[in-house]
Structure 1
Amino acid sequence: MAEPTAEPHFLRIGPDVPGSPVVLSVPHAGRAYSPALLKASRLPLRTLEALEDRLVDRLVWRAQASGAVALVARAPRAEIDLNRDQREIDPLMVTPPPPPGSVLQSARTRGGLGLVPSRINGAGSIWHRRLPAAELDRRIAEIHAPYHRALEGALAAARDRFGVAILLDCHSMPPQEDGSGASVIFGDRHGTSIAPDFLDAAVAAARACGFKVGRNTPYAGGYITTRHGNPARDIHALQLEIDRSRYLDRSLRSPGPGFDAAAEMIAHVAAALAIKALAPPEAIAAE
């Protein structure tokens, strides 16, 4: 369905030797739609783009410039969702269907937002026909698995150098219609993916930048946070969701007046996490 490409499916940005214990992940902002993928879709490109965390890849440059390594997807979410378990498959969209024991059913797969999205709310089914199993296997082997291996490697390198690593997994969320909700939501899998003092530092940094902050509701962190966050091994993971209306224009497609402030906020969060991670033990004990 989507021909192989010589272009990388994701970019690793940053120094070979990490300059920060923070690693950034941007899994949902890829815009490299292949001609074959677009041909396979019954929906136009503009509708497929609704699956994206629009332009979040352009929000992390300030944080990355401080020495953090960033893993940024180029493959679009319509092709494969890097924030899903590779077993989260809607069996009805694959031919031949996968064996029942190899599929992990969830609310997301039932809602059409599994490993390969099958539906978009308000637009219906995405694809003209079912996905060949061989093509699904190719996407997992060439895009999904290498991305997660690269994340594991970046986090291991940061922990080896600094004694601790923190993954900041960056996403965006639909606007709050009444404007009363949080504009940034941190997800830590309900207290399991990151130490509380790191979460507190991230929350304080976002608030200091003028953002209203929520925790875990309605976004508690996805597969990336669950898979890579392991505080017992000194590897922590935190998901960040930012309201798209805070950094995009009214069309929610192009940078808006708040774009620079959003980038600055993410940089402040990354810096606060790094400062907390690198604080000497006696300073932490004295707090």
Structure 2
Amino acid sequence: MSNASYRLKHPKERTSSVVFSSPHSGREYPSSFVTQSVLDPLTLRSSEDAFVDLLFRQVTDFGAPMISAVFPRAWVDLNRRSDEFDPALIEGIARGALSPRVASGLGVVPRVVSGGRNIYRGKLTREEARSRIEVFWKPYHAALQALLDEAHRACGQAILVDCHSMPHEALVSNGSGKAKLPDIVIGDRYGASADPRVVGQVEAAFRAEGFVVARNMPFAGAYIVEKYGRPAQNRHAIQIEIDRSLYMDEARIEPRADFAKVRAALLRAARRVAAIEADDLPLAAE
């Protein structure tokens, strides 16, 4: 199933309470957007979580659905609130107290890509920004909410695994220089978006495949896990960030020769995650 906003793959039989999401891997760039931008096409892709949807698309074999964005993050960012407009980019938006993300140009309609490079020559109209929310942002979130509600009704729990990738440079700049850099960072907003038992099982699944795993540093999770994570209701949301250098040439945005090997290891971990059962967890509060 697909529309302008997302692609949705259903398993032949839904046996898992887990929903996999890839909101930043969209790579269908509107021609008008490419023309409008001051950046070349490769630079415009630098914020993209390239190929993450391909890494995880076989999770449907484990009884879990997967939803992934069609359009790019640089066009509209699903991991932001729908009202996080940047007054430096959108006409008619009042300047006020801005979140650090919006202030840096990373609102729901981004002003910049990686490295703080401006996307546009000038400003966008408020109508253009709101159109992107209506046509792209809202359908994705409506579909994601429906998937999680279905899981909760069927299994008594819902677990969102929100799949992302992170630039290797971000890990280097945040590393202490002593410990080995993580391959995967699990974000649960420091325990606010998922029960620790769920997070522990997810972490163990990736460690079993030899990945070095860290929690919440440098990425603890943003809007999506904050919105959908309600552990007291047995609704858990976890962000997974994968070091891009493990599977792709970051400069060329091309899969590495060992892409299939990394994908196989991630899928073995995903199989264990998809098998997490409600019986393993405490009952939700009444």
Same fold (TM over 0.5): yes
Structure 1 vs Structure 2 CA RMSD: 2.4
> By how many angstroms is 1:271 displaced?
2.8
TM-score, normalising length: structure 2: 0.89
Q: How does 1:33-48 map to 2 (within 5 A)?
A: 33-48=29-44
Larger CA deviation: 201-210 vs 171-180: 171-180
> By how many angstroms is 1:115 displaced?
0.9
In 1, distance between residues paired with 2:210 and 2:104?
34
Larger CA deviation: 250-259 vs 56-65: 250-259
Q: Is the 8 A contact 2:16 2:275 kept in 1?
A: no
**Aligned position for 1:170:** 163
TM-score, normalising length: structure 1: 0.88
Q: How does 1:36-185 map to 2 (within 5 A)?
A: 36-95=32-91, 97-99=92-94, 105-122=98-115, 124-175=117-168, 176-177=171-172, 180-185=180-185
**Aligned position for 2:230:** 230
In 2, distance between residues paired with 1:117 and 1:185?
24
Matching residue's letter, 2:195: A
Q: Deviations over 1:43-90 (max 9, x none)?
A: 111001001001101000232321211110011111100001112221
In 2, distance between residues paired with 1:7 and 1:279?
36
Q: How does 1:223-262 map to 2 (within 5 A)?
A: 223-249=223-249, 251=251, 253-262=253-262
Matched, 1:18 2:14: yes
In 1, distance between residues paired with 2:29 and 2:214?
33
In 1, distance between residues paired with 2:163 and 2:97?
24
**Aligned position for 1:188:** 188
Q: Is the 8 A contact 2:185 2:217 kept in 1?
A: yes
In 2, distance between residues paired with 1:122 and 1:173?
13
Q: Residues 204 and 281 of structure 1: is their aligned pair in 2 closer, same or farther, counting only changes over 3 Å?
A: closer
> By how many angstroms is 1:261 displaced?
3.6
**Aligned position for 2:205:** 205
Larger CA deviation: 188-197 vs 263-272: 263-272
Q: Residues 94 and 161 of structure 1: is their aligned pair in 2 closer, same or farther, counting only changes over 3 Å?
A: same
> By how many angstroms is 1:127 displaced?
0.3
Q: Deviations over 1:102-161 (max 9, x none)?
A: x77211111111111112344632102211110111111111111111111000001111
| 1:185 match: secondary structure | strand
Matching residue's letter, 1:115: V
Q: Is the 8 A contact 2:8 2:65 kept in 1?
A: yes
Matching residue's letter, 2:83: R
In 2, distance between residues paired with 1:230 and 1:163?
13
Matching residue's letter, 2:61: A
Matching residue's letter, 2:243: D
Q: Residues 270 and 88 of structure 1: is their aligned pair in 2 closer, same or farther, counting only changes over 3 Å?
A: same
Q: Residues 257 and 201 of structure 1: is their aligned pair in 2 closer, same or farther, counting only changes over 3 Å?
A: farther
Q: Residues 250 and 51 of structure 1: is their aligned pair in 2 closer, same or farther, counting only changes over 3 Å?
A: closer
In 1, distance between residues paired with 2:248 and 2:68?
19
> By how many angstroms is 1:227 displaced?
0.4
> By how many angstroms is 1:276 displaced?
2.8
| 1:60 match: secondary structure | helix
Q: Residues 117 and 281 of structure 1: is their aligned pair in 2 closer, same or farther, counting only changes over 3 Å?
A: closer
In 2, distance between residues paired with 1:231 and 1:16?
28
> By how many angstroms is 1:181 displaced?
1.0
* Structure 1 segments unaligned to the other structure (5+ residues): 1-5
| 1:59 match: secondary structure | helix
> By how many angstroms is 1:19 displaced?
2.9
Q: Residues 167 and 160 of structure 1: is their aligned pair in 2 closer, same or farther, counting only changes over 3 Å?
A: same
* Structure 2 segments unaligned to the other structure (5+ residues): none
> By how many angstroms is 1:185 displaced?
0.3
Matching residue's letter, 1:148: H
Report how many aligned residue pairs link the two structures: 275
In 1, distance between residues paired with 2:218 and 2:115?
21
Q: Residues 16 and 144 of structure 1: is their aligned pair in 2 closer, same or farther, counting only changes over 3 Å?
A: farther
Q: Residues 252 and 67 of structure 1: is their aligned pair in 2 closer, same or farther, counting only changes over 3 Å?
A: farther
